Structure 1
């Protein structure tokens, strides 16, 4: 008897991962709160930068440079520093402490604790570091070893400026794009500080560095056993943890490693998850969240603007001076790397991830959205200014030209991103009302609750 013919069972298609998909409602709310604070910080940062440029190019230039170079501190501990150096080495350590907290929180308790979700912004950050550095090196290859020292200048994205621009021009853009930009900026700032530690450190004193690592371990123990050591006496914790953190900073500074590295290491030492002591989800926020909430205004409102005020002031010298600055191969390399290299690196890395992991862009997004954010990642400022001073020396001709290029490149990147993202913002504004529907009035839009969205 002949067996009936049966159609062959088609092979199952492996599931396709979705990149840049919508985050959880809690994560979107948290990121939105951060964006609002960074927007204010970006405005203050812009005001400080403009003030520095006005003072450096007016009759107040002598007073500005005298203030920047005024020294205070205690020399036997290698802490007699100019106000500009205190801002670069000390205040920026606060910024990087916050970056360490934010990055650890994202990977331990945020939406990026999933490898499939973390790989995209991390890969994009790596691409956004490698490609600009290569472009800078290619442009300056024949200019000598002195100019090549600036290869890392265009690798970092300025969190405050980039996020402030995005908040102003992209109020209706999907939260996934904002989370993508914020995570990318934090990761590539961490990569930049790693570059500083390994490539811009000349002589290392071993003993202070070892002592710093021992005290970081003590800091880790005290923060992880916070309730055991301090109970409800938060004031006691501040009296111990703050001086301990300052001593770690001073030891790292004395070791020859750039002191901002201490900020990142201390940030990584703080626990993200709630303590089991006292029990469960009602125990309150973890220590990292508490510190982030208290320190972010200090970082955005004081630390970064003061650093920018002392670092961004450069005497341009009119149109001729601007021409000389922008025709320096150092400046050309920085501008091209920020405006062209950064978006190419971010896009190329994101594209490679989609092809090698069989992932697909979220259907609610388009590649033009990713292009806009990638262009915006070319806004490099805070860490770029820091690396410029480390590479060329504060006040040197190359340093001055590099600072002009950082300002020009960042401005061009911001303007190009504004053109792209404003068009996309109008598109997403037309669907914003639908996404805001909350049919069961529980405070969470239906778009984050599939069962409610399906009913609608």
Structure 2
């Protein structure tokens, strides 16, 4: 049973199942779907708020852990010279979609679409990693290349969300940001006192940051990103360790314990993220849908391929065993923008019609699974592992 549950998580099936359920529900009974997701539970609290502003705190915390681990000694981005090529590819994966978005909007769009450029910049780490393993094989260097790219991509995505997409219904109140500073000071004090349990960091300092961001009218989903760097990293990694009976034991690092305790909750909880965000009526398809879709798939492919080529011209090496064809296919896989793209849609557009059309564009990127599989055969990509 445990093996099947792990496979269920590994292949991102909770998220996929949530997306499919939401699409079916929203198209068969839009009234009951809208009532379930946006109907009031208590005061201003509804399912959409609980998912996007509470649950997603832990989703972005996991992304923050990946970034911290990558930047730490021994990580994939440390020393920084080791990751110049994938970081340049990341820049292409950000710039390419933005250029395609504004170009297509000029040709077939509308001024009301302009604020959606940030939707096209992020790569879905979980689904891209899954697809990369399917088309390249688990031991192919392109998988690590794409994972580095996706982690760095999402780091930039966090900044884009925080800076360019504050709450559209309320102006930013900067004074509340002092609570973020206070939360970080509390976390730094806990670290200095060598507190090993992650609970006071996450639910103490993290809650202070969450309150500060909520009242500052910034996305509270990013609140734990400020706290994750302070969690102690001294101790053994829990990679491959049976978690039964492990409860912040001192021989394991605090960061590792938190990651392994929260990751299953996040993986399964993405079912509810899919339910809360992917319920779009198919009538919502418009030119914006195709602009978002093309910006993600075409923009990522061209941007990643071009900037990686420039990196090789500047004498930075590709990972050993990786070819130009692999880079091109990795760019296609990088066009998978589901989770973060759906998250950005709500702050990007206040008009429900624009939200629906943009979400359809993000959802259509699941066709990258078919496209990448076909291209792998055409390009004669050799699977490794």
TM range, smaller chain: 0.7 to 0.9
Instruction: For 1:4-403, list aligned pairs within 5 A.
Output: 40=10, 42-58=12-28, 60-73=29-42, 80-109=44-73, 110-141=75-106, 143-174=109-140, 176-201=141-166, 203-226=171-194, 229=195, 234=197, 238=199, 241-274=202-235, 284-302=251-269, 304-316=270-282, 321=283, 325-326=285-286, 328=287, 330-356=288-314, 358-393=315-350, 396-403=352-359
Q: Distance in 2 between matches of 1:224 and 1:378?
A: 41
SS at match of 1:378: coil
Q: SS of the counterpart of 1:113?
A: coil
Q: What does residue 31 of structure 1 align with?
A: none
> What SS is found at the alignment partner of 1:132?
helix
The RMSD of aligned alpha carbons is 2.6
Which residue of 2 is the match for residue 11 of structure 1?
A: none
Q: Deviations over 1:214-247 (max 9, x none)?
A: 1122113313533xx46xxx4xx52664243223
Report the 3-state secondary structure (helix = DSSP H, G, I; strand = E; otherwise coil) of the residue aligned with 2:116. coil
Aligned to 1:15: none
Higher-Rg structure is: 1
Is the Cα–Cα contact under 8 Å of residues 39 and 167 in structure 1 kept in the other structure?
Answer: no
* Displacement of 1:423: 6.6
**Runs of at least 4 residues of structure 1 off by over 6 A?**
423-426
User: What SS is found at the alignment partner of 1:151?
Assistant: helix
Structure 1's unaligned 5+ residue stretches are: 1-35, 276-282, 433-456
Per the normalisation by structure 2, the TM-score is: 0.86
Q: SS of the residue aligned with 1:160?
A: helix
* 1:240–1:164 CA distance, 2 compared to 1 (3 A): closer
Instruction: Give the whole-Å Cα distance in 1 for the aligned partners of 2:317 and 2:163.
Output: 36
Matched positions, count? 363
Instruction: Provide structure 2 residue ranges, at least 5 long, that are not aligned to the other structure.
Output: 1-5, 237-249
* TM-score for the superposition, normalised by structure 1: 0.73
SS of aligned partner of 1:165: helix
